[in-house]
Amino acid sequence: MKRNVIRFAFSVVLLVSIAFAQEPVNPALRPPKGAQVAIVVFEDLQCPQCRRQAPLFEQAGKTYKIPVVRHDFPLPMHNWSYEAAVMAHYFDSHSKQLGIDFRDYIFAHQPEIFPTNLRQFAEKFAADHKVDLPFVIDPQGKFAAEVNAERELGKALQLDHTPTIYVVSSKSKGHPFVEVKDPNAELFRSIDAMKAE
């Protein structure tokens, strides 16, 4: 009888500790290795709000000397953003900076881009940066798979809009990440708060 009571008590303690254990943080909401704090952005290259906010993320990254991790999250209602994301991953394969520059170039020209002329913009960017742009950019589907994987990361976080911005930290307790709902008002304040914790 005493042994059953002890087993029961142990089971209750185990269940309670499991119930109150902190859920593991999605790896997408962690800074790159070696960084204490970072900005993580899920963006759609056809999203006007993403275009408006992109310079702010870059400015914050430079001001605080923290990484800005950009994930492609093309939304289904946009008719050329997925193809542009695949192109961005092609340029990433040459250098990460080239991929970032391509995304910024697409944002700069976003109002002029349509499904019928996206390729022309990519060709001009490639020529200006002395990079070959093959007729078939992704014959094995590697870059599409990378875009799909980033979109799945966003879906795992239950994202439904772009841009979705997080300030993330490497700490394991407390609040290791925070979503920034209004970047103009909250981004710098959120970074300050995360760095102070």
Domain with residue 171: its CATH number is 3.40.30.10
Is 10 within a domain?
A: no
SS3 39: strand
In a domain, 121, yes or no: yes
Q: Looking at residue 17, what is its pLDDT?
A: 37
Mean pLDDT by 10 residues, the chain (197 residues): 45 37 71 95 98 96 96 96 98 97 98 98 98 96 98 94 95 86 93 90
Query: Are the CB atoms for 99 and 88 separated by under 8 Å?
Result: yes
Tokens of 136: 């078939």
Contact yes or no for 36/170 (Cβ under 8 A): yes
Global confidence as pTM: 0.84
Residue 40 lies in a domain: yes
Look at residue 21 in the predicted model and tell me its pLDDT: 40
pLDDT of residue 59: 96
Element holding 71 (H helix, E strand): strand 68-72
Residue 2 domain-assigned (yes or no): no
Q: Between the CA of residue 196 and those of 67, 155, 192, what are the distances in Å? A: 17, 30, 6
Question: Which range marks the domain in which residue 178 is found?
Answer: 25-196
* pLDDT at site 1: 52
Please work out, in degrees rounded to the nearest 5, the angle formed at the alpha carbon of residue 97 by the alpha carbons of 72 and 86. 35
- 96 occurs within a structural domain: yes
Task: Provide the number of structural domains found in the chain.
Answer: 1
- Determine the pLDDT at residue 28: 87
20 lies in some domain:
no
pLDDT confidence of residue 173: 77
Structural domain contains residue 7? no
Q: Where are the alpha helices (DSSP H) in the chain?
A: 2-20, 48-64, 81-92, 96-109, 118-128, 142-156, 183-196
Greatest Cα pair distance in the chain = 81
- On whether the CB atoms of residues 40 and 29 are closer than 8 A, the answer is yes
Q: In this structure, which amino acid lies at residue 120? A: Q
What are the structure tokens assigned to 193, written together? 């708060």
Q: Is residue 14 part of a domain?
A: no
